[in-house]
Amino acid sequence: MAKVKTSFFCQNCGAQSPKWLGKCPACGQWNTYVEEIIQKEETGKGSWKPSGGGSKKTASPKKITDVNYEEQPRWITGDPELDRVLGGGIVPGSLVLIGGEPGIGKSTLMLQIALTLSGKTVLYVSGEESESQIKMRADRMSAKNPDCYVLSETNTQQIFQQVEILKPDFLVIDSIQTLSSQYVESAAGSVSQVRECTAELMKFAKETGTPVFLIGHITKDGSIAGPKVLEHMVDTVLQFEGDRHLTYRILRTSKNRFGSTHELGIYEMRAEGLRSVANPSEILLTQREEVLNGVAIGAMMEGNRPLLIEIQSLVSPATYGTPQRSSTGHDAKRLNMLLAVLEKRGGMRLGNQDVFLNVAGGLRVDDPGLDLAVCASLISSYEDTPVSEQICFAGEVGLGGEIRAVSRIENRIAEAEKLGFKKIVVSKYAVKGLDLKKFQIEVLPVSKLEEVYSRIF
């Protein structure tokens, strides 16, 4: 009987050690090493074999100029939000990992894409649901694909046997933590199993040119569960975010070998599935019956997409001694910096005031172009004077109280004009060389916070 081989793996970063360690030398975490049974594959026995058999030609180095390259067109899924986030569609042979909290809609999104890809043979493999449960969800959706096949299986060798028979054009795995390979004897979801199963699927995707989507669980701190090497192996990492108690979901890219990582997709969760939101600015602006103080509209950029979002603030005297500084959806350190600028350069006494800032719609923003809208919102709440609902802002605020230029100012102005705003306040350095006559909206160039105060309030 062969001796059982074991090794110790860090459950946080995937580092391997022949003995147990209290502290991981790679990531510095304590008590993360767990013993797992490992068993190496026999030579020549790959878990995925091409149709031609197990033999494979030995690779040899080539000059980069001698490499043959044929550009393959991307697959348009019919979902404009996913196509935008991926960089223009699905790349053949790519391995995509999508993560998110439980109940956020990862499985719904992937099943919806599988049903939307008409004309393509799709295999949806689920290790968490039975085939009848998947059919129940599919019946609620409007899209129908007669070439969509479902399989409830967790063993990778069984999955690849069905793949050999079906030869799908598109493969979805829900989820990677439920799969197990017979070449590794540890439990499903362990570092060894996740790494081995991902390696097998990556080999299959690259050798056959079949796009593979993996659904992954996340940990308490919001990162993809399993070893960090999992994110290094895949081509694209998508994050599906949002409050599951609200209707809107946000799809972001944290890694993309075939496109930008700054794009953003917004969905609305409905009973019949996820609906793409073509104009997110309309849902991010609250429909108010009366003008309120402490509210200002800012024009921001997410990738190539301009968004107008509502900044809400509340400034009131501190009643419990130490003033509170609370920020939701906005960087708290940047808020403190803007408060210091308003106190030093604007003469506002904020040292004894509680300040609460909120980005409406549940978005998390980091665009410095929203600084001017944040300052306008804080001034409005402090002075108890509302900002006109026909005005929006786009500008970065420096430590000297100067208004700095931001990128893509034309896109921001055009978006504000499209949504019916009458005026937009921008930095005067951003409009140099810009033809303002082509815009119907009135552009107000300013250089300092004092000018904003005098012209708006």
Q: Annotated binding site for ATP: which residue ranges?
A: 100-107
Angle at 31 between CA 30 and CA 33, to 5 degrees: 115
Are 406 and 368 in contact by the 8 Å Cβ rule? The answer is yes
Closest CA to 427 of 452, 457, 404: 404
Helix (H, G, I), strand (E, B) or coil at 51: coil
Other residues' Cβ atoms within 10 Å of the Cβ of residue 150: 20
Question: How far apart (Å, rounded) are the C-alpha atoms in residues 424 and 52?
Answer: 64
8 A C-beta contact, residue 325 and residue 335: yes
Task: Report the binding-site residues.
Answer: 100-107
The whole-angstrom separation of Cα 357 and Cα 313 is 4
Give the other-Cβ count within 10 Å of 289's Cβ. Answer: 5
Spatial distance between the Cα atoms of 241 and 221, rounded to a whole number of angstroms: 13
Angle CA 204–262–331, to nearest 5: 125
Neighbours of 45 (CB within 10 A): 9
Taking the C-alpha atoms of residue 336 and residue 327, their distance in angstroms, rounded to an integer, is 10
Helix %, strand %, coil % of the chain (to 5) = 30, 30, 45
Q: Is the peptide bond before 260 cis (omega within 30 degrees of 0)?
A: no
Residue 60: C-alpha distances to residues 57, 184, 436 (Å) = 9, 30, 59
Cα dihedral value 43, 49, 55, 59, nearest 10: -90
